[in-house]
Amino acid sequence: MGKKTIAFLLTGGCAGCEMALVDLADRLVDALEHLEVVWWAPTVADLKYKDLEDMPDKSIDLAFIDGMVRLSEQEHMVKVLRQKAKILVAFGACAALGGIPGMGNLHTKDEIFKTVYFDTFSTDNPDGVVPQTKYLVDGKYELTLPEFYDTVRAIHQVVDVDYFVGGCPPHHEFVAKAVEAIIAGNLPPKGSWITSGKSVCDVCPRNPANKGETRTPIKEVKRTIEGAPEEDKCLLQQGYLCLGPITQGDCGASCPKVGIPCRGCGGPIPGIKDFGARAISAITSLLKDEKTVEQLMEKYPTIAKLFYRYSLPSALINRRISR
């Protein structure tokens, strides 16, 4: 059997997902015996648009995209890669859900430009310059920049996606399993998340159910800056708003194990359409009374930043509509 051709494209992300691939270390070297990398840009090779555009359609067996779509350039490259790839994987929270950069959907493009190019303490912009998509230098040289869209989109909102992998970044142990499953052709139905199917709570050593204990209502909402949680006890039971009950646990409950509440980067467990809406429902139903609801509103004034931290672009209402 010949090697499978593989491609990686970073769009609007931080490249942390690609660090997770590098974290595979010797397992990545083993995987490369079965894979031929034909495109890995812009992080690894200085390839040009045309290098990808010139490849025959469906000539890449497997393509990974990490990062979301905010710029016209990203949209173009995602569409080209879709055309060239047989299987397309949205890899990591940004690609699969919109990710942390998707929090930008709480603001308009104009608000973001105002903050970045005018209002920050370190900005020095006396001529009020903001990026233009076209600019003529000396009346004859036209410079272009990609368009900055008003809204961040996840990859499936731009092209058809075959598989999704959660995590910010995906946990390297799980990446190894996902890559091995893909190489072996041992894949779930198209459109699925590649996941163990377990929630973070399922794999969390703090889970009261795993110790034969029952959950009790949350008596006080706490933030992590308010002190260290008790060892071995469920964070949610202690009032720290952990999203483990509705998040895929392919990370092995990395955060709760070290006393940090899960923030949902693994993506929704199967059957959930809108992660944030389900998170609000799951968490608020555990609050003891009105006082704890008031504490929640007071301690998390922009509640979308808690419940939609990684998934706002994929929500049913995926951006701020009005003030």
Site for ligand SF4 in 194-213 (CB under 6 A): 200-201, 204, 206-207
Q: Measured from the CB atom, is 55 or 174 closer to ligand SF4?
A: 174
| Closest distance to ligand SF4 from the beta carbon of 60 (Å) | 20
Backbone angle region of 78, left / alpha / beta, with phi > 0 → left and psi within -120 to 50 → alpha: alpha
Structure-token match 């929630």, residue found: 199
Which residues on adjacent β-strands are paired with residue 63?
7, 88
Measured CA to CA, the distance from residue 233 to residue 237 in angstroms comes to 8
290-299 and 275-284 are packed helices; what angle lies between their axes, rounded to 10 degrees? 140
Minimum Å distance from CB 83 to ligand SF4?
23
Instruction: Decide if residue 165 touches ligand SF4 (CB under 6 A).
Output: no
What six digits make up the tokens of 237? 């039971």
Q: How far is the CB of 215 from ligand SF4 (least distance, A)?
A: 9
**List of residues 6+ apart from 268 with CB closer than 8 A:** 246, 247, 248, 275, 278, 311
Burial track 190-214 (b if 16+ CB lie within 10 A, e otherwise) = eeebbbeeebbbbbbebbbeeeeee
What 3-state DSSP class applies to 31? Answer: helix
User: And the tokens for 18?
Assistant: 């690609």
Binding residue (CB under 6 A) for ligand SF4 from 78, 155, 234, 287? 234
| Per-residue H/E/C for 202-228 | HHCCCCHHHHCCCCCCECCCECHHHCC
Comparison of 55 and 311: residue with beta carbon closer to ligand SF4: 311
Residues between 78 and 97 with contacts to ligand SF4, criterion CB under 6 A: 92-94
* Closer residue to ligand SF4, CB minimum distance, 237 or 295: 237
55 vs 68, beta carbon nearer ligand SF4: 68
Q: Which stretch binds ligand SF4 (CB under 6 A): 144-152, 232-240, 272-280, 314-322?
A: 232-240
By CB under 6 A, is residue 66 in contact with ligand SF4? yes
Q: Does 100 engage in binding with ligand SF4 (CB under 6 A)? A: yes
Q: What is the DSSP letter of 104?
A: G
Q: Is 313 in the site for ligand SF4 (CB under 6 A)?
A: no
Residue nearest to ligand SF4 (CB): 244
Q: Near ligand SF4 by CB under 6 A, which window of 108-116, 139-147, 188-196, 261-269?
A: 261-269
* Beta strands at 4-10 and 35-41: parallel, antiparallel or unpaired: parallel
The residue range among 28-36, 175-183, 238-246, 296-304 that interacts with ligand SF4, by the rule CB under 6 A, is 238-246
- In single-letter form, the type of residue at position 167 comes to G
Closest CA relative to residue 68, chosen from 97, 106, 107, 45: 97
Q: Which parts of this chain interact with ligand SF4 (CB under 6 A)?
A: 13-14, 16-17, 66-67, 92-94, 99-100, 168-169, 200-201, 204, 206-207, 234-236, 242, 244-245, 247, 251, 253-256, 262-266
